[in-house]
Every structure is written in C-alpha cells, then in structure tokens.
Amino acid sequence: MLSRLLSHDWPRSRVLAVILAAIFIGLAFAPFLFPGVKALNVAAKILIFVVLVAAFDLLLGYTGIVSFAHTMFFGIGAYGVAIASSRLGAGWGALGLGVAAALAVSLLLSVLIGLFSLRVRAIFFAMITLAVAAAFQTLASQLSALTGGEDGLTFRLPEWLSPSFEPFEREFLGVLIDGRILSYYLLFVCATLLVLALLRIVNSPFGRVLQAIRENEFRAEAIGYRVVVYRTLASVLSALFACLAGCMLAIWLRYNGPDTSLSFEIMMDVLLIVVIGGMGTMYGAVIGSVLFVVAQSYLQDLLRLGHEATAAWPLLPALLSPDRWLLWLGLLFVLSVYYFPTGVVGRLRASAARRHPAQPAR
C-alpha cells in the first residue's frame, strides 16, 4: 500500500527514510507537538513551500527548464482566492470559485508561455519568463481597484477556517481546536495529496520522457518524442501546482499583496531550496523546505542567545548579532552547497549506495 502511495519511489536510504518519517509526523502533529503561534506559522509555511518547490523541481530537476515565472503562478493562486473572497464574501463557493479561476488563468498563461517561448534556447527562455513575471508583479501593484495595489487585500474565509471558530469546548491533547488549526490541517491534507500526485507524475511514463529530455533533448526528439509538447505539458503542470500552493498561502494568511506572493525573493528562495534538497527528487523539496524555513525563522533567535552568552568576549557579540542573521544564513547555504553538491537527498542516497552496493533500491 505504501509503495503504491509513493509510486514505488522509495527513499533508497534508511537515514533519508527516517528523516522523512520524522518530518511527516512532526508536520502531522505540529499543533500539539509545537504549541505557539510562531511554530504553527512555520509549519504552515513549510507545507506551502514543499508544494511550491516540488512543482518547480518538476521543471528544473526533471525537465531541465529554468523558469523565473514560477512565483507568478504562485501569486495568481493567492490573488484568485483573495479577490474572490473579498468581493463575494466569506463562503465556500467564493473560495472554490477563486481557486478555479486562478487555475484557469494559470493554465492559459502557462500554455501561452510554453508555446511561444519553449522553442528558444534555455537562457532566452529564462529571460522571457523573468520579464513576464516582472510585468505581472508591476500590473498587480498598479491595478489597485482589483488587487488592492501595494496595500494588498485582506479578506475573510468560511466560518470553519476563522480563528474565532471553536467547535469543541474541551481541549484535545492540551490544545483547544479552533479554525486556525482546522486551516492548518486543510493545508496539510492538500500538501500531502499534491506531493503524492507529483510523485505519481514523475514516476509515470510521462515523467520518464521528461527525464530523457533533460538528459539529451536531441536524442529524445530523434526517437520520436515531441519535445516541445512534453516541455509545454511540464510547464503547465508546474504552473498549476504552483497556483495551488498560492491558494494555500492565501487561505493561511487571509491576506495577499505583491510582496507576499510575487516577490522575486521568493523565486530565489525556491532556487536555493531545490539546490539544498537535491534536484530531480521530490523528497529534496521536503528536506530543503524544512531546512530553509526553519533556518530562516529561528536563526535570529539562536544568534540572539549566542550574542547574550558571549557578551563578555571580544568580537564575538558583534559577529553573533541578530542583525547579521542574513550573513550567517548565506554562509550556511554556501557550506551546504559545498558539502552537498547533489543536495541532501543525493548525498544520503549516494552514501547508502556505497554501503550497500548489491542491495535493491527501496
């Protein structure tokens, strides 16, 4: 049963399997294991980034396409939910309509970008997607009547997803269940299903063709595969999954603006996570998202503790100042890329293969 759920794509490393199981359990019980508003926000952000990064890895890691328009579809999903909910009210119908409209717009734009741009060389395609994403961000900022402009849109969701909704009078495992926790579990279920769907896609015959195109585009075309069609389909699928990740973000924040979902910094974060976790593996999106979001969220707190503990030492308090957290974050990423050139997942799988060369892949 588990093998079918994972599409027969086993971690192929006991250490990796244990880490993935621990992450799944930690995210599944996050509201009870890590109480507090910040911890729940971190867990929700991990779920959103897992879907967003896994969708991008379908393009970069499995197909070899470099696109900077990924966050555009992420923003479309968030704006779809925000616009529909702010104009039609806090109802499930408005929420569903927003998701459907965002998927339709993402489908149309991804097909257009794919058909008009995927015939050019990789660097020119990357530049085209960068220009399109920048234009869309500017458009979202200027259409204030529709998108709220730079201020963004704040909206309400159905009562069940409202923080004030408390369906039970008594606490469960020491935590009072409210709409915020229900929203988290909605994200958890969506993220789990979407990652399993992506695993199924990359391990299907379609996914094998994408990997063949990544390895040698000309050879794949020579044996009869229509490369442009497959690359366009990969671009469309990636866009749709990124759009759904944007919908998840809007549901969690109940707010969306240009800097929230369309910022170029998000695109850079996604690229870093793919490299850290390992390209060409959906498990890399999970590992990389957890490492990145946790480091981004708690590095300042750790530096603050180090700053206070070394107050009597020369130079160290200045180096460990919480204001320099970006410096240390960048250093950590440089070291991770240096020591894990194939990503964390690639390194763990390679180590397992060296220890058990004759063992079947599991």
The radius of gyration of the chain's CA atoms, rounded to the nearest angstrom, is 21
Higher pLDDT, 290 or 280: 290
Report how many domains make up the chain: 1
pLDDT band for 237, please (50, 70, 90 cuts): very high
Task: Report the C-alpha gap between 70 and 214 in whole angstroms.
Answer: 19
pLDDT band for 310, please (50, 70, 90 cuts): confident
Q: Which residues does residue 172 pair with via DSSP β-bridges, in sequence order? A: 175
The pLDDT tens digits for 119-138 are 666 677 788 888 888 899 99
Q: Is the pTM of this model over 0.75?
A: yes
Task: Report the C-alpha gap between 148 and 168 in whole angstroms.
Answer: 36
Residue 118 has pLDDT above 90, yes or no: no
Q: Is 24 part of any domain?
A: yes
Domain span at residue 127 reads 2-355
Residue 328 has pLDDT above 60, yes or no: yes
Task: Report the C-alpha gap between 247 and 207 in whole angstroms.
Answer: 25
Q: Is 348 part of any domain?
A: yes
DSSP-based three-state secondary structure for 170? coil
Nearest to 158 by CA among 209, 100, 102, 98: 98
The pLDDT tens digits for 334-358 are 888 788 888 889 888 888 888 777 5
- The CATH number of whichever domain residue 98 belongs to comes to 1.10.3470
* 279, 347 contact by CB (below 8 A): no
Q: Is 362 part of any domain?
A: no
Q: Is 309 part of any domain?
A: yes
Give the orientation angle of helix 264-277 with respect to helix 282-309, to 10 degrees.
100
Residue 231 has pLDDT above 50, yes or no: yes
Q: Which of 159-168, 207-216, 226-235, 289-298 has the lowest mean pLDDT?
A: 159-168
Higher pLDDT, 30 or 174: 30
Read off the pLDDT of each residue in 29-35 and give the average, rounded to a whole number.
89
Q: What is the mean pLDDT of the chain?
A: 88
Q: Is 88 part of any domain?
A: yes
